[in-house]
């Protein structure tokens, strides 16, 4: 998996400039603000690529693995809801891609 590090850095710097101006941070706080924005940019990039790559079959396996656990935590139920929504979206996306290709 490769990430566009240039875009991540540009996004982090853009958000840092906005936060510095809007929130009125002192120049000495630049490193702290940039660190937070860089982490947020990386998280967004990883989340975007993770959702775009998964197929309906892969998501189905993740759902099955969660449903087969002996005990489910509250976070597991939230994860199941998110996975089921992603599964429906991936299934619909793949169905439309198949129709277009045919």
Q: How far is CA 22 from CA 8, 58, 63, in A?
A: 21, 42, 42
Q: What percent of the chain has pLDDT over 90?
A: 67
pLDDT digits (tens, 9 = 90+) for 21-61: 999 999 999 999 999 999 999 999 888 876 556 788 989 99
For the entire predicted model, the pTM comes to 0.51
CA distance 11 to 51: 19
Lookup: tokens for 46: 């990883």
Sequence spans of domains, the chain? 5-53, 56-101
Report yes or no: 16 and 33 within 8 Å, Cβ to Cβ.
yes
CA distance 32 to 88: 40
């Amino acid at each position: 998996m490769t990430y566009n590090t240039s875009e991540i850095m540009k996004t982090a710097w853009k958000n840092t400039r906005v936060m510095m101006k809007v929130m009125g941070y002192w120049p000495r706080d630049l490193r702290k603000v940039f660190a937070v924005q860089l982490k947020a940019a990386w998280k967004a990039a990883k989340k975007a690529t993770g959702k775009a790559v998964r197929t309906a079959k892969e998501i189905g396996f993740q759902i099955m693995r969660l449903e087969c656990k002996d005990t489910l935590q509250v976070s597991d139920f939230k994860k199941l809801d998110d996975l089921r929504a992603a599964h429906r979206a991936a299934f619909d996306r793949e169905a439309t891609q198949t129709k277009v290709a045919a």
